[in-house]
Structure formats: structure tokens, C-alpha cells
Amino acid sequence: MGIDAVIQRLRTASDIAHLPWPDMVWQPSTGKPITLSRGTFVDLPLPPRQRVDLRTELRVPRSIGPVSLDQEPLYLTIDSIYPLQLLFQGRELIGRREPPVAPGPEETLVSPAISEGTNGELRLVYDVPQSQTWLNWLYFRFSTPALRRRADAIDLLLSRLALASELATTPAERSQVAESALLIPLDLELVDQEGLDELDRMVAQHLEGFADRLEKLSVHVIGHSHLDLSWLWTWPDTTRVIKRDVAGVLGLMDEYPELTFTQSQAVTFDVIERDSPELFQSVLHHITEGRWEVAAMQWVETDLNLPSGESLARSILYGVSHCRERLGVSPTVFLAPDAFGHSGNLPQLVTSAGAHVYYHERCNPGTSEPHTAYSWRGDDGTRILNVSTPRYWGQVTIKSIADAAIAALKQGLSSGLFFHGVGNHGGGPTREGLDRLRMMAGLKGFPKTACSTLARYASDVGDSELPEHVGELGSLFEGCYSTNREMKLRNRRAENALTSASTLAAVARLDQEAALRAAWKTLSLAQFHDTLCGSAIADVYDQVFEELDDATRSASEVIASAFVALTETAAAESIVVTNPLGWTRRDVVVVPGVTGSGPFSVIQDDGSVIPAQHSSEGLVFVAEVATFGCRQYTLGDRNVENRDITVVEDDDVIRVETEWYRAHLHRESGSLVSLRVGETGPELVRFGGRRPTDYIDSARLDLAINVLQVVDEAPHDMSAWHFDDVIGERYLIAGGSSQLIEVGPVRAIVRTIQRFGSSEIVRDIIFYQSLPRIDVTCTIDWRESGSREKGITNLKVSSTASLGRGAAWFESPFGACERAADGQEVVAQRWADVSDNNYGLAMLNDGIYGHDALGCRLRLTLLRSSYEPNDVGDVGQHVMKYSLCPHAGDWRQAGVPKLAAGFNQTLIAKAGVVCRADVSALRPTLGGDPNVLLTSLKRAEKESAWVARLQECEGRPATVYIESLRPAIRSVNRASIVEDPLGNVPIDLDGRARLSMRPWEVSTLLFNE
Ligand SMILES: [Zn+2]
């Protein structure tokens, strides 16, 4: 038998030895008996909102294999999310009436001495919650000290052979390992403890030549407890778990002075400080000692693809600030264990906040083997040391430690990394694991293993030659980018409102940061990875939606107070339009409360008259407003001559001509079967209209623009997470109807109504005379639920552009990336684009993240009916918007990033006010290269200063001038993302500050008053 086969045989023996207890049959009060087999209950009953009562006789065999159980103490470790009660002979062993929790560092002694035969009745009572029934999450592990000793002995044999095999390079060394493998008998399961110990002595002796090298290896063991703040439970439940776990770890630290612990998420420290001041003092003490590692560079562990760049900046700012102010440390470890993907500008953002090392589990870029450590180069060229393990939780076993050392060896490193902590809803290090670490410390010819911190591990591997990964780390659960539309829409609405509010407050020089900070933290909590990804239970969203609506309301109040500061009351016909973005823009604005009908006009502040149009939402016109500006308009005269958009209604199509494009809208489907850019531009739809052939005319409506599709995925587990095999695609190209519902000099709106099953999809397709966009507002009554039988139904909108060899680009947090146009679901922020060198089509959105591009077909996933852990999927009413932007040139030339920002942060208008002349507003402007966006302003956290965020948005170097700073601003500093000043940017005699930026650089500036 070869060495690999022996190692494999030992791995199987180890798996059995760690879960040795024989199958047990448990009887529910009603129904058929169920079996507990190798730690897992088979077909566990999970009736929602009911109590389940199971009983079994604890029958103990004389021995398990060669291990006698007589008079052994029996321990039980439970990993579960259900509130449960466990009784032995009527005595309560566990009485957890609190919310579902993992066992944490506890272990239950069932009996101090068991004996062969019946030992008494075990009774388990658990309450099944309404919607946590998706995972059979109830694991029981029975063990005794003798059984553990056996598992350890088998692990040790396995580890010695596996480690030596990894180190053996010469033929002599390899034959030495092979000879040692021959010592392992085929009937290992019959060898008793004494025999195993003797075998270990022999194997160790045989492999003595490797001992020196093995003892030079080290494994850093990180104590951790992964807290999913709201997932299959709600945030209030988790606050209790945080306190339980911190108390548990502190207790263990007293018992085991070597124990260290790494805690992430600043909000969890906040909970301890607020609710348990004594625990907090102990934590502070251990931080000072260096045993409690603060790895809380974010307020919470958010998703890292879905939040906007500014949301990530805020989460990092509030995380780092909290650590500095309340814990007295500046964290250097960015912990993102469970994030489902990592966007390309993160190295820059986290390094700017002081990170030296980035830890993650998912999306490791190693191909044949995951990298334990590697260098990650972000979009802008910033490098950071990334470290990674296959799991961010686990039990310390000899085998797991050896595997960590082997992973390091495979990469040529001398130190490995291992996370310990049981449970995946809190939990933490265990006595069993810590005892094992102590035992391993005395092992000869074995890697040095000790409790450590990620910072220590980073300094250990820092100088090694490491592989490099460039750009985003991709993603793993692509369905998440579409699951739970309402969560995504509310997230974006809050992001837009908070960014605009923060900026307009700064323009008005109002310090509203306290109110805004609270709202940003609420948003950050909602951006927790399971929550924003749509993979949490319904109870979570009931709370989160309310909280997000509150945050959006706070933002609206700040915007209103900025309006009060920037304007004063005037006659009703006076209108002020304000622009929350850092560039001059022409965009549509709706003035609420101005009623009337038909075409109209407004007079701009320079006396020119422009067209306007009454609508049910208010007065609509296209305003041009300077950077962060307020512009004055006055209601004009309805008799002014206005040229309506040309709309021609034919039988099959409605033809619309504007200054920017000519479109043919297919009445039955709302699809654009012809779309030409400008007067002379090419046809962007190749097969939409009927074309003559030798016999009958033919068309391919499915290959038009703005086509609704129903896409069916095969049934699969983790439906909220995974976008899986597509087994059907249907095109909603027949049976609908379209009607012109509004037309005037500003815009024309065609309403298309389509039905699918019991669902109704209403789309208002809005053509503007003088804007290069076609906006689409969808009002959908969605009735399609998914199930384990049917699978998942998605609603997509598809646009196929007739282009040459195109490229597909997607916006990412503070950046953009090109990806293969291979049809896979991917995430984008506010825009995605397919272009060749001459023309292209961009699709903008107001909270739709799931996209796919296949060649020059771009699709948005509007709705997705996953069925677990939340069984209603997207069933319900939804209103969402997207926009089609046909353009000349590529996305850069078309200014797509600016269009998308404008589509989200709209111009804001108010009637009955005029701009105040006496207000000393802050309105910095940007000159120089056009590829830098001045995205937002805020009040500085500490100094008497204002913060401006700049983003290079095209992947090219740039030089810009910040102008209009005087008289309010005295000096300008470059700053880190957490607002530490980094150096002065001189203001020249003309009052301008010059700044050079790298491709994709995000720059934070402090404007000192
Ligand atoms: Zn998680």
C-alpha cells in the first residue's frame, strides 16, 4: 500500500474516532422514531412554531472498538441554533429558553460514570421557530476521555506521516516515509490505546530525521467567534449571544493564561460597553495585555460588493474611530471571514485606514491549493498581505493543526494559520481544544503550536516571497445579488439619501454629523453580509426595513434643513433646484406640488425660457445646475411655443424621436425593436424589426432591447445564495399592450402592461427630448413563488445591442471592472455597459445589482423567487427603475459613471423659495482632467473642517484642480479614509489646490476652515 493510501486510511479512521458514538434511536411524542447517526439527526422534525419532544434510552455498549466505556464520564457537545432543553433522568442538563444559540465554549457532562447497558432516559425538547427550519442545525457529539485519547492517537499517527510525506524530497526520505507507513497495521481499529502509543513511538523514531525541520514549523492558532449579526436570528437575539460569548471567553482566559482571542465588528464592542460595563473593563484589560486582538476595522462585517464605495468608507471610518476612541487602539487587521466576494478597490480602502493584513475565507485565488498567504494588488496598485484559512471556525485537533502546517509548507512558508472556535452563531474556543493545545506543546517532532493573533502571524510571514493576485477576488454566491429586491432597493435609497444629505449639509456648512452618523451606522448594520445579501429570515427584514426607512427619513430631514439654510421663502412661482453632486449636470427634475396640465415653461436665472411639462408627480423640466449648486427658476407662461417630442403611433410600434435617439417601441412587449443613436448613428437592434427574406419576413424580438424574460433555475439547496442551472427561458414578447400616457416638450411616456402567470408587470418607458436616456419605471405585482419542487423563477430585462466585439464593464464600489461576457450572474453597482470602440449601451439602475452579460447582451435580474431561508421570495409589490443609455464611444466617452450617479442622486427642487444671497456656502469645484468625480462632502469627524471624497473613475491617471475654496477654506490636507491628515496640498494664488491621482484612486481631502 502506497503512502498516500495509508494516509487516506488514517484520515478515515480519524473521522470515525472523532464521532465514535453508536447510532441512537430517539422517539418523538408523535410520529416515527428518528436516528442520531454520526452526530446528525436524520430527518429531524422541524414543524414551524411547534415544540418537539424526543426521548431515548441512553444505552452504553461495553466498549467502542477496543475502548472500554466502563466508569468513563460521558460528555456531550451540542451545536445548534434552536432553543432547547436537555434532561437526563429528569435532571436538566441544558435549559436554554433564550433565543437560538450555538453552545459556545460550553460542554455538558451528561454522567460522571457510565456503565454498560441502560443508564437512564435522555430527553430533548426544542422549539422550532417560524423560519429557521431550513438547516438541520442540531449536532450532538458524545465523547469520553478514553475515546478522545484514541482519536488523538490516530490523529498523531496520521499527522506524523502526512507532515513527513510533505517534507520528503530525496528518494531516501521518501522511502523512509514509506517504511514508516508500513508500520500501520491493516486492522488498526482493533489496536488498543497502549498499542497505538507504542505505534506512535515507532513511527516517531522512524521519522526522527524530519524532527528538526518539523519543530521549526509553527502554527498560529487564532481564537475567534463568528457572529452573524442577523441571519437565521435577529439582531436583538445576537446582542445576547455577544455578551454570553465574551463572558465565556473571559472565563476561559482566567483558566488558560495562554488563550488569545480576535474580535471583529466594532458594534459588538459597543454592545458590551453599553450593556455589560464589567465585562467591558476586563476586555480592555486583555486588549492592553495583547491577548484580546481588536480586528474591528468595520462597524460590522458588511458584504463587500453590494455597499457603495461611500458606504464602505463610512463603515470603515466608524469601525476604526470606535476602536481608537473606546478601546484605545488603532486596528491593523481587516477581518472579512465570511464575505461572499471582495471588490477590487478594497486593498486601497483598508490600507488607507491603517490595515496591514486582510483575512478572508471565501474566494481564495489559489488554484490547485488555497493560498495561506498572498499579496493582493488592488485596482489602483495598492498591495496588502492577505491571509486565509479553509474555515474561520473549528475545533483544535492534532489533525487540523497538522493540516494547517501542511498548507503552509505547500506554499513554502514556515508558519501556518488556524482559527479555533466552535459554533457559527457565536461560540468560541473550548476547553477541549485548549487542553489539546497544551498536550501538543509537549510533542517532539511536531510543529510549534500556540495561541496567537493575526497581527503576529502577519509579521511572521511578512517577508516571505508570496504569490500575487491582481484585481477583485470574484464572488461565490451570485444569486445573493438579486435575492430580496426590497432589501436591495431600500439599501440604495438610504445610500443615495445619506450621501446627498451629508453633502448638502456641508454645502450649507451645517454640522449635522451626529444625526447622520447614527443613520450611517444603521445602514451599515443593514449591510451585514447575510442581511444585505437577502439570505436572512423574514423576521430580520421586518426590523431592518423599518430601521432603514428611519435612516432615510433622517437624511430627508437633513436635506430639508440644508434647504432652509440655503434658501428663503418667496412667491409660489419661484423654484430652487439643487445639485448634490460635484459636477455641473443637466438632468430631469420634478417639482412636487406644482399642479396643472399640459406643456408649460420655466424661466432660468439668466432670463432664458425652457420647456416644462405638467405631470401627476409635479412640474417636470430639465435643469442645468452647477457643482453643489442651487439654481433659481421661475414658473413661465403656458403660451410659450414648445415643440413636443415626436411620437407616431402605428399598429405594431410606437415611434419616438428625440434630440438624442430614434426608437421604435413594440406595443405588445414594450421592447425597443429599433434604436438609433442621434441622426446618423447606427441601428443598435439588429433583428428586432421584421426583415424580408426569400419567403416570409422574419424577426427576433427576443434579441431586441428592453425585453422582459422569465428565467427558471432548477431546484437546488441554498436557493437564496446560489444562482444555479437555468432550465428554461421564456420571453414576454406577446400578449401585452402599450399606450402613450404623457407627451410634451420634456418627455413622452409609454405605459406597457404585461402579464405572466398571476403576475402583472407595468412599465412606464420614459423618453426625454434633451437627455440621452430612456428611463423605465417598473411597477410589479409579483406572484411567482419558488419551491423545492418548482425551482426558482427570475424576472429579467434583457437588452441585446448590435455591436462589434464588445467589452462588458460593471461598476464596483469606488471603481469599475471589465469581466468576461460569459453569461454568469455578476454584481454591479449603479451601472453596467457593453460597448465596442464606436458605440455602446449602458443600463443604469436604482437598486438592482444582479447582472449578466453574454456577448453584447446585457441583462438585469429584477426579481428572484428563492425559497429558503425565506420562503416568500420576492412575492409582493415592487417599484424599481432602470435606464437605457445608448451612446457613441465607450462608457468613458459617454460619461456613464456620472449619468449613473445622477440617476441615483437626483436633482432636488422646491417651490416657493429663492436662493439666499447672503449664505456663505461651501462649493468646491473641480477643474482639470474630467475623469475624476467629486462624489460627496461631509463634516470632518474631529477637526473644524470639511471632508471631500474624490474618485478617479476611468482607470487613468489624472491631474485636477480644486477651485472655489476661498474665502471659507484656509488650507487643504490630503487625508486617509479615516480622516488622518497626510500632508498639505498648497493653495496657489488663484485659490486652487492641485492634485494628481492614480488610476482608480480614491482621495480624501480635508478642507480646514
Ligand atoms: Zn457570516
How much is the pLDDT for 133? 61
Q: For residue 143, what pLDDT band results from cuts at 50, 70 and 90?
A: very high
How much is the pLDDT for 102? 46
Give me ligand 1 centre to Cα 495, in Å: 22
Q: For residue 878, what pLDDT band results from cuts at 50, 70 and 90?
A: very high
Contact 210, 450 (CB under 8 A): no
Q: Residue 413: which residues within 8 A CB-CB, separation 6 or more?
A: 372, 373, 461, 464
Give me ligand 1 centre to Cα 528, in Å: 8
Give me ligand 1 centre to Cα 540, in Å: 15
How much is the pLDDT for 46? 86
Give me ligand 1 centre to Cα 301, in Å: 8
- Sheet of 726-731, strand order: 726-731, 707-713, 792-800, 857-864, 850-854, 822-827
Give me ligand 1 centre to Cα 250, in Å: 23
Contact 112, 124 (CB under 8 A): no
Run of H or E residues at 461: helix 454-461
Amino acid in position 721? W
Contact 164, 210 (CB under 8 A): yes
Give me ligand 1 centre to Cα 228, in Å: 5
For 893, half-sphere exposure in the C-beta direction (CA atoms, 13 angstrom radius) is 13
Give me ligand 1 centre to Cα 477, in Å: 13
Give me ligand 1 centre to Cα 97, in Å: 24
Q: 312-333: per-residue pLDDT in tens?
A: 999 999 999 999 999 999 999 9
Q: 34-47: per-residue pLDDT in tens?
A: 999 999 999 888 88
Give me ligand 1 centre to Cα 479, in Å: 16
Closest CA to 699 of 687, 685, 684: 687
Give me ligand 1 centre to Cα 529, in Å: 7
Give me ligand 1 centre to Cα 293, in Å: 19
What CA dihedral angle connects 534, 536, 537 and 542, to 10 degrees? Answer: -70
131 versus 634: which is more confidently predicted? Answer: 634
Amino acid in position 41? F
Q: For residue 462, what pLDDT band results from cuts at 50, 70 and 90?
A: confident
648 exposure class (CB count in 10 Å sphere: 0-12, 13-18, 19+): exposed
- Average pLDDT of the residues in 80-102: 78
Q: 780-808: per-residue pLDDT in tens?
A: 999 999 999 999 999 999 999 999 888 99
How much is the pLDDT for 968? 82
Collapsing DSSP to helix, strand or coil, 92 comes out as strand
Amino acid in position 795? L
197-234 b/e (C-beta count within 10 Å ≥ 16 → b) = eebbeebbebbeebbeebeebbbbbbbbbbbbbbbbbb
Closest CA to 79 of 19, 13, 122, 152: 19
Give me ligand 1 centre to Cα 364, in Å: 16
Give me ligand 1 centre to Cα 611, in Å: 53
Give me ligand 1 centre to Cα 227, in Å: 6
pLDDT over 70 at 282, yes or no: yes
589-621 b/e (C-beta count within 10 Å ≥ 16 → b) = bebeebeeeebbbbbbeeeeebbbbbbeebbbb
How much is the pLDDT for 106? 63
Q: For residue 132, what pLDDT band results from cuts at 50, 70 and 90?
A: low
pLDDT over 50 at 28, yes or no: yes
Give me ligand 1 centre to Cα 222, in Å: 17
**Per-residue 3-state assignment (H helix, E strand, C coil) for 765-829:** EEEECCCCCEEEEEEEEECCCCECCCEEEEEEEEEECCCCCCEEEEEECCEEEEECCEEEEEECC
Q: Residue 970 and residue 193: Cα distance in Å, rounded? A: 78
Give me ligand 1 centre to Cα 35, in Å: 30
How much is the pLDDT for 639? 63
- Average pLDDT of the residues in 883-896: 96
Give me ligand 1 centre to Cα 230, in Å: 9
Give me ligand 1 centre to Cα 135, in Å: 15
- Average pLDDT of the residues in 122-143: 83
Give me ligand 1 centre to Cα 102, in Å: 14
Q: 153-201: per-residue pLDDT in tens?
A: 999 999 999 999 999 999 999 999 999 999 999 999 999 999 999 999 9
Pairing of strands 807-812, 925-928: unpaired
How much is the pLDDT for 789? 95
DSSP 64-75: ETTEE-TT--EE
Give me ligand 1 centre to Cα 530, in Å: 7
How much is the pLDDT for 98? 58
Q: 374-403: per-residue pLDDT in tens?
A: 999 999 999 999 999 999 999 999 999 999
pLDDT over 50 at 100, yes or no: no
How much is the pLDDT for 821? 96
Give me ligand 1 centre to Cα 339, in Å: 7
Q: Residue 482 and residue 112: Cα distance in Å, rounded? A: 52
Give me ligand 1 centre to Cα 229, in Å: 8
pLDDT over 80 at 643, yes or no: yes
Q: Residue 489 and residue 862: Cα distance in Å, rounded? A: 11
How much is the pLDDT for 638? 66
Q: For residue 474, what pLDDT band results from cuts at 50, 70 and 90?
A: confident
Give me ligand 1 centre to Cα 345, in Å: 22
Give me ligand 1 centre to Cα 340, in Å: 9
Q: Residue 433 and residue 424: Cα distance in Å, rounded? A: 16
Rg (CA), the chain: 32
Q: Residue 852 and residue 402: Cα distance in Å, rounded? A: 42
- Residue identified by cell 486582538 is 293
Give me ligand 1 centre to Cα 601, in Å: 54
What is the length of the chain?
1009
How much is the pLDDT for 97? 61
Give me ligand 1 centre to Cα 291, in Å: 24
Q: 580-618: per-residue pLDDT in tens?
A: 999 999 999 999 999 888 778 999 999 999 999 999 999
640 exposure class (CB count in 10 Å sphere: 0-12, 13-18, 19+): middle
pLDDT over 70 at 53, yes or no: yes
Q: For residue 930, what pLDDT band results from cuts at 50, 70 and 90?
A: very high
Contact 386, 374 (CB under 8 A): yes
Give me ligand 1 centre to Cα 327, in Å: 24
Contact 124, 63 (CB under 8 A): no
Contact 316, 287 (CB under 8 A): no
pTM score > 0.85 for this model? yes
Q: 488-538: per-residue pLDDT in tens?
A: 999 999 999 999 999 999 999 999 999 999 999 999 999 999 999 999 999
Run of H or E residues at 958: strand 958-963
Q: Residue 709 and residue 694: Cα distance in Å, rounded? A: 30
Give me ligand 1 centre to Cα 437, in Å: 26
Give me ligand 1 centre to Cα 194, in Å: 43
Give me ligand 1 centre to Cα 310, in Å: 22
Give me ligand 1 centre to Cα 405, in Å: 25
Give me ligand 1 centre to Cα 428, in Å: 14
Give me ligand 1 centre to Cα 137, in Å: 15
Give me ligand 1 centre to Cα 299, in Å: 14
Residue 765 C-alpha from the chain's centroid: 31
Mean pLDDT of the chain: 94
Prior bond of 869 cis (ω within 30°): yes
Q: Residue 460: which residues within 8 A CB-CB, separation 6 or more?
A: 218, 220, 415
Q: How much of the chain, in percent, has pLDDT values that exceed 90?
A: 85
Give me ligand 1 centre to Cα 226, in Å: 7
Give me ligand 1 centre to Cα 764, in Å: 39
Q: Residue 343 and residue 360: Cα distance in Å, rounded? A: 13
- Average pLDDT of the residues in 445-449: 97
Give me ligand 1 centre to Cα 741, in Å: 47
Give me ligand 1 centre to Cα 379, in Å: 26
Give me ligand 1 centre to Cα 976, in Å: 28
**Per-residue 3-state assignment (H helix, E strand, C coil) for 730-766:** EECCCCCEEEEEEECCCEEEEEEEEEECCEEEEEEEE
The grid coordinates listed for 655 are: 415611434
pLDDT over 60 at 103, yes or no: no
Give me ligand 1 centre to Cα 367, in Å: 24
Give me ligand 1 centre to Cα 390, in Å: 14
pLDDT over 70 at 6, yes or no: yes
Give me ligand 1 centre to Cα 231, in Å: 8
Give me ligand 1 centre to Cα 351, in Å: 23
Give me ligand 1 centre to Cα 1006, in Å: 35
Give me ligand 1 centre to Cα 249, in Å: 20
Q: Residue 652 and residue 664: Cα distance in Å, rounded? A: 9
Residue 998 C-alpha from the chain's centroid: 26
Contact 1000, 348 (CB under 8 A): yes
Q: 961-994: per-residue pLDDT in tens?
A: 999 888 889 999 999 999 999 999 999 988 899 9
Contact 322, 295 (CB under 8 A): no
Q: For residue 83, what pLDDT band results from cuts at 50, 70 and 90?
A: confident
Contact 816, 471 (CB under 8 A): no
297-306 b/e (C-beta count within 10 Å ≥ 16 → b) = bbbbbbbbbb
Amino acid in position 172? A
Give me ligand 1 centre to Cα 225, in Å: 10
pLDDT over 80 at 129, yes or no: no
Give me ligand 1 centre to Cα 924, in Å: 41
Amino acid in position 954? E
pLDDT over 90 at 80, yes or no: no
Give me ligand 1 centre to Cα 851, in Å: 24
Give me ligand 1 centre to Cα 786, in Å: 24
Amino acid in position 323? C
Give me ligand 1 centre to Cα 898, in Å: 34
Q: Residue 612 and residue 769: Cα distance in Å, rounded? A: 11
Give me ligand 1 centre to Cα 425, in Å: 8
How much is the pLDDT for 524? 98
Give me ligand 1 centre to Cα 950, in Å: 31
Give me ligand 1 centre to Cα 43, in Å: 26
Q: For residue 134, what pLDDT band results from cuts at 50, 70 and 90?
A: low
Give me ligand 1 centre to Cα 311, in Å: 19
CA distances from 748 to 461, 688, 844 (A): 62, 22, 19
Give me ligand 1 centre to Cα 871, in Å: 20
Give me ligand 1 centre to Cα 83, in Å: 20
The grid coordinates listed for 178 are: 514509506
Residue 490 C-alpha from the chain's centroid: 15
- Sheet of 448-451, strand order: 415-420, 218-223, 448-451
What CA dihedral angle connects 875, 480, 842 and 671, to 10 degrees? Answer: -30
Collapsing DSSP to helix, strand or coil, 253 comes out as helix
Give me ligand 1 centre to Cα 232, in Å: 11
